[in-house]
Chains A and B, each alone.
Chain A
Amino acid sequence: MRAFGYTVAGSPVEAVRIAARTANSTFVAGGTDLLNLMRDGAETHDHLIDVNQLDIGEVAVDRRRLRVGALARMRHVAEHPGVRREFPVLSEALLASASPQVRNMASIGGNLLQRTRCGYFRDSASPCNKRVPGSGCPAITGHNRGHAILGGSDHCIATQPSDLAVALTALDATVHLIGPGGARAVPIADFYLLPGSTPDRETAMRPDELITWVDVPRTALAGQSRYLKLRDRATFEFAVVSVAAALRTRGRVVQDVRLAFGGVGTRPWRDTRVEAALRGLPLTGQAIAEAGRLLVRDAEPYEENRFKVELVQRALVSILSDLGGLR
């Protein structure tokens, strides 16, 4: 790893100012992803701006929303009583992430910006369009078990690995940013970009912007939410397929539903057509199966990840059956 400079920022405004005037700099929070990327040579930075002292670590639930500061730790958010009660999918997604040690260190902002686990991306001696634009994508013809079946391009098929991002996508969260041009808010649906021909561009963030907090609207629906994560070992592993779901029914009829999927898309995957296909209908195995087919209609599987087409549909059946009391 290359030697780098290091500054501790005292406020969000100061952090952004230092970033804007320091070439090839980036923010570091828990460092649980960034330092690994730097050690592996997948990212190089000359200067790190430590944002751990910033006063944006609170977690607060009021009548309208949940506000999570970007520096709140994963563990703190997962265990927050208001989050567990009103937004169970967030708590479950966080508790299904990483390990207790990582969750104690890792921040919410860092979690949303963690990079893909694609092995080629993290090996600086392999080509990779995301790391070195134009160098090629070996995953398409190589090992792609962990890769996306939805939203990929000829340039990249890597998944965004954050479980939390999937849950936030289901709940229509908003990401708040501050940058050299001032503060702004981006709906999570617009926050992550499809790879297209520029897989190195992953989010709608502009240079030197800092995540300050994330807002999640408090709704009855959010209180009826759940996270299902399927993976290759019991804990401490990223999703092969995951689903964040929120469901409200009256009688058996679906009043409202929100669905987001992990492990299958190049970004946290939300397809409102799938939700629309369920809304207003009785929740039956058949209705869910129809919705699942819609979800994977445009799927483009590769040699090793073909099974995800089937698995994600089954995961959908499983989580909605649970939430809707079907058995």
Chain B
Amino acid sequence: MSGLVGQGVARVDGRAKVTGAARYAADNEVTGVLHGFLVMSTIARGEVVEIDTRAALAHPGVVAVYTHTDMPKLTLPNFPYNRPFIPMQDTRVHHNGQPVAYVLAQTLEQAQEAANLVKIRYRAEDAVTRLADALDEAFLPIKFRNRPNETARGDAAAALEQAEVRIDQTYGSPMQHHNPIEPHTTTAVWEGGTLILYESTQGVILARKAVSDAFRMRPDQVRIISPYLGGGFGAKGPTYPHTLLTAAAAQLAGRPVKLVLSRAQMYTSNGHRAEYRHHIRLGATRQGVLTAIADTSTAQVTRIDENVYNGSDSTLHLYACPNVHVRQLGVRLDLPTSSYMRSPETTAHLGLETAMDELSYELGIDPVELRVRNHNGVNPRTGDPYAGKYLLECYRAAAEAFGWARRKPGPGTTRDGDEYVGWGMATETHTYGWIESEVGLTIGLDGRATLRAATQEIGTGTYTVLTQVAADGLGMPLDHVTTLLGDTTYPPASLSAGSSTMPSVVGPASQAARSARDAVIALAVADPRSPLYGVPAEDVVIEAGRLFARGDRGRRDSYRDLMARHGRLVEVRGSGANTPGHSFGAVFVEVRIQPRLGRLRVSRVVTAHDLGRVLNHRTARGQVIGGVTWGIGFAVMEHTMVDPNTARVVNPNLSTYLVPVCADTPSVEALFVDRPDPDSTALNARGFGETPGTGVPAAIGNAIYHAIGRRLREVPFTQDKLL
């Protein structure tokens, strides 16, 4: 091992990205391509009665305008396809902003304008669009992806009844959108019986499944290419209608078709974080020991499916509590199906971690101490003590760096000039998954290595970390290893979602690197032309691409010389299982509030995280900065507004859907415990991407309470709520 793993190596794809050499999905120039543009419904519920395409067809450059009467019949795929229907298969409209016609033209501008010229007559039906209006009809949805919506241990109701102290409150968060900078895009090319899709997707393998199912093809007849993403945040995890419709349009037209969704279309085309209500009840002893947690969430689902995406998993395991009851209810609205959104468990944390803060004031126990008293040392999956969980260490490290010991406990007690200063904290955690993955590794005749895996670079540093892992295992310099991702012709590997990439792919990558290294050593010691001929394999060391005999450094060979002599590629595969789990952390926040104007600033953030072994401090820190920034947006501004009458999104653009700018985000002090998790086969690293940020909205709300004594339970915490 060369010690590359763990180093804060800079992005290996950084130069390609900043110079424009990196080819994102829509950058591919396909000869003969037509530009597609979707025509979206303008009603929330009803039927298409008539579509008049004449004016659109007469527009210059327009090649075709397809409607439900033209589209081939497709088969509705299961997950990862995110919708309970395929649009344009019939006349039904299930939500506002649903595709109802597909325009093809020579240029994008022509297609866009022609889309404006398509005239559609609808028969509209009454739509229900507000969660608040339908709460009475909340129901327990069926399992989604095998996960129950009701889970209990012990008897929470009885324990609440008997509890010495109770908290009983409701917390809410609105509809939110992912808004990756790169819009969703698909370019479909049919070549004989095969379909190639240049797709902006977080999962080429899963997308292939959805597409091949829809078109009733064999998976090997579909190739999906997605080497770079300009962000996804869950929006590009599942597969959405526009991908299927574009492939169908290309088939009908007999020409390649490129579709790039407009920003406004992205507010109804790729899921969102559903609006949530969390009713949380805590029971505790006077000493602050939790005796009961009841968490009933209510989320928007649709009239025709009941998928709950933002689960309350962490309520079940974050604290050691014998009586826990979690229910995830749904309310049917005439809105699009929601989806996963970074980080799904944040909605649950807003409730749980605010309720914990409320409990701490109720009991007069420091919020950190309350959490320490309820620390859960038992892995819920196994029932055994965690092999390596350092959450307590996170509380300690972050509290110390923050200066928490100097905190005056009472609300409204700290002033600085004309501002009130408030300190708040919360626990962070998120589930990570394991998705069966393989990687292929080839040593070329030039002695350099290429790693291939059909996982993706979502922007988090997958190319970099896999290159580190491979180079480290091979004993090569970093720049002798090239990593290739995002193509279904590579060995099948993890979806870039659910914090699963590292736990799923690092093990196979490191295993492949070790087998390739062993294979090369075996070649050397068996090669009479090698200075290492006859040396026992276990006595060969490799550093920076050179092979030495241990104890006799004069006997040396190199990958380059050896492979040149060998004249044939060395090709290996790596695979291996891992177990899903959780990463942990603590976030401490300082806010400043100008009380007269209700002006809020987040002025300081300190985090400490336990993610097992840190594979790359730089990319890990990037995740923390990104997660905290998301958390700030979630807490103080993000909010999709849907018109109550038409169910149209009123702010479908980045000028009115606010996300934080630099001035809203202080610099973040990110600490890592960095101790190996013996249970993880990913070089003892755990999945991490979605953990940071999960506690930030609650920590900000808790800091607001500490600053001015006002408890806010619904995000966004806008100025009007602070007056």
Contacts and interface: CB of A to CB of B under 8 A. Distances in A.
A222 B565 CA distance: 84
Interface in B668-721: 718-720
B663 A240 contact: no
A6 interface: no
Interface string B458-489: 00000000000000000000000000000000
A156 to B, nearest CB: 16
B230 to A, nearest CB: 19
Contact of A143 (B637, B641, B652, B661): B641
A298 interface: no
A2 B113 contact: yes
Contact of A230 (B113, B601, B719): B719
B723 A314 contact: yes
Interface in B626-647: 636-637, 641, 643-646
Contacts of B652: 123
Interface stretch (B27-35, B47-55, B592-600): B592-600
A234 B629 CA distance: 13
Contact of A307 (B599, B658, B720): B720
Interface string B198-241: 00000000000000000000000000000000000000000000
A117 B648 CA distance: 16
B651 interface: yes
A196 B60 CA distance: 41
A3 B116 CA distance: 13
Contact of B597 (A233, A235, A314): A314
Contact of A318 (B109, B264, B596, B641): B596
B646 A126 contact: yes
Interface of A: prevailing SS: loop
Contact of B648 (A125, A235, A311): A125
Interface string A283-310: 0000000000000000000000001001
Given A123-B648, A142-B644, A237 B658 contact: yes
Nearest to B112: A1
Interface string B58-75: 001000000000000000
A217 interface: no
B658 A232 contact: yes
B650 A240 contact: no
A119 B637 CA distance: 17
Interface residues of B, number: 34
Nearest to B60: A3
A141 interface: yes
Contacts of A119: 641, 650-651, 656
B664 interface: yes
B645 A143 contact: no
A105 B687 CA distance: 44
Nearest to B664: A234
Given A138-B643, A233-B637, A318-B596, A117 B655 contact: yes
Contacts of A235: 661, 663
Contacts of A236: 661
A3 B720 contact: no
Contact of B644 (A141, A234, A315): A141
B643 A142 contact: yes
Contacts of A233: 636-637, 658, 660-661, 663-664
Given A138-B643, A232-B658, A234-B664, A120 B601 contact: no
A234 B113 contact: no
Given A117-B656, A138-B643, A232 B719 contact: yes
A124 B650 CA distance: 11
Interface of B: 42, 60, 109, 112-113, 116, 264, 596-599, 601, 636-637, 641, 643-646, 648, 650-652, 655-656, 658, 660-661, 663-664, 718-720, 723
16 contacts: A2-B113, A41-B116, A117-B655, A126-B643, A141-B644, A141-B645, A142-B645, A143-B641, A234-B661, A235-B663, A236-B661, A307-B723, A311-B597, A311-B598, A314-B598, A317-B596
Interface of A: 1-3, 40-41, 117, 119-120, 123-126, 138, 141-143, 230, 232-237, 240, 307, 310-311, 314-315, 317-318
Given A117-B656, A126-B643, 5 more contacts: A119-B651, A119-B656, A123-B652, A125-B648, A141-B644
